[in-house]
């Protein structure tokens, strides 16, 4: 694959997913796209690159899917889940008692470990949200990842990565060499495919959005676009949870850091708090 062919792949992937591929990723592109080229009748990855612009939609979807990164595990990085238990869930549950509903969105759900981890925490703290209808929406660009997430079926290696033994015993059943999430947990999460570069008009409003470890793959303009779209669907007092390497620096300023690293809120949240303090002082 020459430089022009590689650039065709890079340009297509950036446009379809927002992911920026550096020159150092050429080996990764070649290894991941070789099976797709063979499956769809292309002589090699170079031929796939040259014909990609006019290829059938199924080929384009397969290329985009192949270039996504689906690295994840249960309770990844720990802190975002500690924040959910200690700050986010108590505050949002208290604020929503009069509305009867709380919505959570895992916007880069990969193979499902993140939303299932949140579901387990919700059951652990069920008394906090008693009387509320809680919905977890989990989406990802990759149809392959979403298909696996819906199955809720994980290897021994996957459940050993971050999942405490007590939660494994409580919420999974063993099936041969795999572990399957309980129906109770599965029913709490609704999985679907969604592109963060797409139209957010149909997703509704959310109290909590997890969008972790995905912005780092975008260029500056795409990152701003996604953060702006996310900010429009977070309720004024809601929370946005980003990954450890993600920030809102360079965004349009719709969200700002809250109490802890990785936790953000719309600027309206501070304005609401400040107006409440002024009212009490008056």
Cα 89-119-169 angle, rounded to 5 deg: 125
How far apart CA 137 and CA 42 sit, in angstroms, is: 37
Q: What is the pLDDT of residue 280?
A: 43
How far apart CA 270 and CA 276 sit, in angstroms, is: 10
- Residues 73-97 as b/e (b if ≥16 CB within 10 A, e otherwise) read bbbbeeebbebbeeebbebbbeebe
Q: What is the pLDDT of residue 46?
A: 95
Please write the tens of the pLDDT for every residue from 6-39.
999 999 999 999 999 988 889 999 999 999 999 9
Q: Enter the pTM of the model.
A: 0.90
Q: Which of 226, 275, 281 is nearest to 250 (CA)?
A: 226
How far apart CA 205 and CA 92 sit, in angstroms, is: 14
Please write the tens of the pLDDT for every residue from 177-227.
999 999 999 999 999 999 999 999 889 999 999 999 999 999 999 999 999
Please write the tens of the pLDDT for every residue from 222-274.
999 999 999 999 999 999 999 888 888 878 888 888 877 789 998 877 666 55
Q: What is the pLDDT of residue 273?
A: 58
Q: What is the pLDDT of residue 276?
A: 52
Structure-token match 């050429």, residue found: 26
Q: Is the pLDDT of residue 125 over 60?
A: yes
Helices and strands in the chain, H and E counts = 13, 10
Q: Where in the chain is the domain with CATH 3.40.50.150?
A: 79-275
Q: Where in the chain is the domain with CATH 1.10.155?
A: 3-66
Q: What is the pLDDT of residue 279?
A: 44
Beta strands in 31-92 (DSSP E): none
- Out of 3.30.930.10, 3.40.50.150, 3.30.450.20, 1.10.510.10, the CATH code matching 79-275 is 3.40.50.150
- By CB atoms closer than 10 A (0-12, 13-18, 19+), residue 202 is exposed
Q: What is the mean pLDDT of residues 38-50?
A: 94
Q: What is the pLDDT of residue 281?
A: 45
Please write the tens of the pLDDT for every residue from 126-140.
999 999 999 999 999
What percentage of the chain carries pLDDT values higher than 90?
77
Q: Which of 276, 189, 197, 196 is nearest to 236 (CA)?
A: 276
Is-contact 25 1, C-beta < 8 A?
A: no
Quick one: fold of 3-66? Chemotaxis Receptor Methyltransferase Cher; domain 1 (1.10.155)
How far apart CA 49 and CA 55 sit, in angstroms, is: 10
């Amino acid at each position: 694959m020459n430089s022009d062919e590689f650039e065709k792949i890079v340009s297509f992937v950036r446009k379809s997913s927002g992911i920026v591929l550096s020159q150092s990723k050429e080996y990764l592109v070649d290894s991941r796209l070789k099976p797709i080229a063979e499956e769809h009748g292309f002589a090699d990855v170079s031929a796939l690159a040259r014909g990609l612009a006019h290829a059938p939609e199924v080929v384009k979807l397969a290329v985009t899917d192949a270039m996504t990164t689906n690295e994840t595990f249960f309770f990844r990085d720990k802190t975002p889940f500690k924040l959910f238990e200690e700050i986010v869930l108590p505050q949002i549950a208290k604020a929503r008692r009069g509305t009867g509903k709380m919505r959570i969105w895992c916007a880069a759900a990969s193979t499902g470990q993140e939303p299932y981890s949140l579901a387990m925490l919700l059951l652990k703290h069920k008394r906090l949200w008693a009387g509320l209808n809680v919905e977890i929406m989990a989406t990802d660009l990759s149809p392959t990842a979403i298909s696996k997430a819906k199955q809720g079926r994980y290897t021994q290696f996957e459940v050993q990565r971050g999942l405490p033994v007590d939660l494994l015993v409580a919420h999974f059943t063993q099936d041969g060499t795999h572990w399957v999430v309980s129906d109770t947990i599965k029913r709490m999460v609704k999985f679907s495919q969604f592109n963060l570069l797409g139209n957010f008009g149909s997703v509704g409003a959310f109290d909590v959005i997890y969008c972790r470890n995905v912005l780092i793959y975008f260029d500056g303009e795409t990152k701003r676009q996604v953060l702006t779209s996310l900010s429009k669907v977070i309720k004024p007092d809601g929370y946005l949870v980003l990954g450890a390497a993600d920030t809102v620096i360079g965004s349009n300023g719709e969200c700002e850091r809250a109490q802890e690293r990785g936790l953000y809120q719309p600027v309206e949240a501070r304005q609401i708090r400040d107006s409440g303090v002024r009212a009490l002082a008056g």
